């Protein structure tokens, strides 16, 4: 076999092995829609959660009725700092405002680990209990014997995970040592 034929065959074999035949076919066709334009429905987030962290963390639970996500912060905070901390850690979140039995049950279902208490948005005003957003104060989940208002100064409210997520009024100074509960609608 002439030497030039051997060289030519060698080039062809090397080209096939290297995938030369595919060269030029993997370039992007401008007329072809990009993959991103046709996302897989199974990975598309709920529109309500678009751009937000998923509600699947260790200290989270989602209310099946409303879809609201309840989150127990890992840090302890004083009442005035809670609102900003919720918004900072979970964009769109505020301190938990518990207005239905389903929301209360959702909070109780949070795998809180060694954390026994969390605190919610509810505060005693001069005349009544009130949520910061002005939501009507109708639903309650007080522990037996609560609210006790011991010493006349229990103006904040904690959720007791060891007692089914029921509520106890405590001084706001007590609350400062505990973990805030946030809610993302």
Residues that bind Ca ion (CB under 5 A): 146, 148, 154, 168-169
Task: Report the residue number whose CB is nearest to Ca ion.
Answer: 148
In this complex, which beta carbon is closest to Ca ion, that of residue 168 or of residue 183?
168
Angle at 36 between CA 35 and CA 38, to 5 degrees: 75
Element holding 85 (H helix, E strand): helix 79-89
Separation of CA 6 from chain center = 66
In the complex, minimum distance from the CB of residue 117 to Ca ion, in angstroms, rounded to a whole number: 12
Q: Please, what is the minimum distance in Å from the beta carbon of residue 45 to Ca ion?
A: 40
- Compute the distance between CA of residue 152 and CA of residue 128 in angstroms, rounded to an integer: 14
Give the DSSP letter of residue 46: P
Shortest distance, position 106 Cβ to Ca ion, whole Å: 23
């Amino acid at each position: 076999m002439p030497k030039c034929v051997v060289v030519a065959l060698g080039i062809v074999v090397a080209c096939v092995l290297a995938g030369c035949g595919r060269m030029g076919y993997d370039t992007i066709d401008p007329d072809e829609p990009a993959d991103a334009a046709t996302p897989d429905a199974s990975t598309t987030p709920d529109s309500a959660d678009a751009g937000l962290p998923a509600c699947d963390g260790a200290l989270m639970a989602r209310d099946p009725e409303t879809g609201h996500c309840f989150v127990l912060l890992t840090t302890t905070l004083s009442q005035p700092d809670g609102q900003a901390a919720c918004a900072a850690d979970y964009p769109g979140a505020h301190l938990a405002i518990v207005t239905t039995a389903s929301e209360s049950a959702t909070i109780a279902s949070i795998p809180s680990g060694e954390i026994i208490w969390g605190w919610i948005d509810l505060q005693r005003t001069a005349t009544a209990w009130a949520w910061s957003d002005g939501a009507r104060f109708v639903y309650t989940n007080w522990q037996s014997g609560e609210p006790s208002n011991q010493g006349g100064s229990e103006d904040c409210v904690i959720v007791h995970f060891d007692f089914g997520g029921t509520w106890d009024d405590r001084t706001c100074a007590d609350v400062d040592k505990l973990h805030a509960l946030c809610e993302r609608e």
